[in-house]
Amino acid sequence: MKILVVIGNKLKLYWSLTKSLQTSLLLSTGLAGFMTARCPVIHWYDFVCLSISLYLSIAGSTIINMWYDRDIDAKMARTCARPLVSGQIDADEALHLGLILSILGISFAVALKPLYGLIIFAGWFFDVVVYTIYLKRRSAWSIVWGGISGAMPILAGRVFGMGRLDLVGILLSAAILFWIPTHILTFAMRNSEDYQSAGIPTLPSTYGFQFARSLIAFSSIFAALFIATAGILIGLQWGFLWVLAVMSAGLLILTFSSLLRPSDRSNFGLFKYASFFMLTAMILLSL
């Protein structure tokens, strides 16, 4: 019985290393990309294999990022209680786990379909090597390269379903790429003191909050435009397109409200709505 309790506690700690909400959102974009090409899903094992390979790759990269960033996590009130910082998980143990999951996920993806696996690897590389290791501590514009990694799952899912790259897949990945500044920059403004304490350059701290809000407004317009265009091209029913249009209008209203009448409340509202918008859009595309 004690052994089961120990194993259960260890799995909970491992689960927290994967940032389950973030990983789940990225996984949902990959599954939505697949569903736009294969709806209804004829072969259930394709869906399962896609889910496993995507999850392992995303979780693995996230754990490696947590391992690499444990020193700056220790300097921020928001992250100082994370398992690696508190010593609940050994650093070498976390690194090995992240590498194992990454290798398994990428290898499985390549075995399923080489092009799909290449895109998965590209997302992993941009996230771990380019964004986290090389740029995050050096440049406020690291968000752009981090955004590329965030756009890879939906492109990978579409490619897995289609067997090739196409315009819809590119539009979907572009929509994610332009949505990410809304999610990341509102979060950076809300936690600006934490990032300054850790010495991490962000666009709000480097260029000012108003610049960040203007960039959010610019990117939100293109995010809504690209995802709507992709919806039309895949033949999304008018009822779903109407809901997507309403959701997009809500995103733009909150974005420009935050720009014209900035406040902590409007910023946090936009941050929460951005995640809701993207999750809802993924559901609509899947349907």
Contact, 276 vs 248, CB < 8 A?
A: no
Confidence at residue 40, expressed as pLDDT on a 0 to 100 scale:
59
Contact, 149 vs 180, CB < 8 A?
A: no
Q: Which CATH architecture has domain 8-163?
A: Orthogonal Bundle (1.10)
Segments making up each domain of the chain, as ranges? 8-163, 166-287
How far is residue 207's CA from residue 48's CA, in Å, rounded to a whole number? 44
Decide yes or no: CATH 1.20.120 for domain 166-287: yes
How far is residue 148's CA from residue 144's CA, in Å, rounded to a whole number? 7
Confidence at residue 78, expressed as pLDDT on a 0 to 100 scale:
86
At 31, which helix (H) or strand (E)? helix 20-37
CA contacts within 13 A on the Cβ side of 12:
7
How far is residue 73's CA from residue 105's CA, in Å, rounded to a whole number? 26
Confidence at residue 165, expressed as pLDDT on a 0 to 100 scale:
92
Confidence at residue 150, expressed as pLDDT on a 0 to 100 scale:
92
Q: Is 208 left (phi over 0), alpha (psi -120 to 50) or beta?
A: left
Q: What is the pLDDT along the chain (287 residues), one digit of tens a residue?
A: 667 666 777 788 888 888 888 898 899 999 999 988 865 556 778 889 999 999 999 999 999 999 999 999 999 888 888 889 888 889 999 999 999 999 999 999 999 999 999 999 999 999 999 999 999 999 999 988 888 999 999 999 999 998 899 999 999 999 999 999 888 998 888 888 888 888 899 999 899 999 999 999 889 989 989 998 998 898 888 888 898 889 888 888 988 888 888 888 888 888 888 888 888 888 888 77
Domains 8-163 and 166-287 share a fold: no
C-alpha closest to that of 172 among 111, 227, 240: 227
Confidence at residue 257, expressed as pLDDT on a 0 to 100 scale:
87
Confidence at residue 108, expressed as pLDDT on a 0 to 100 scale:
96
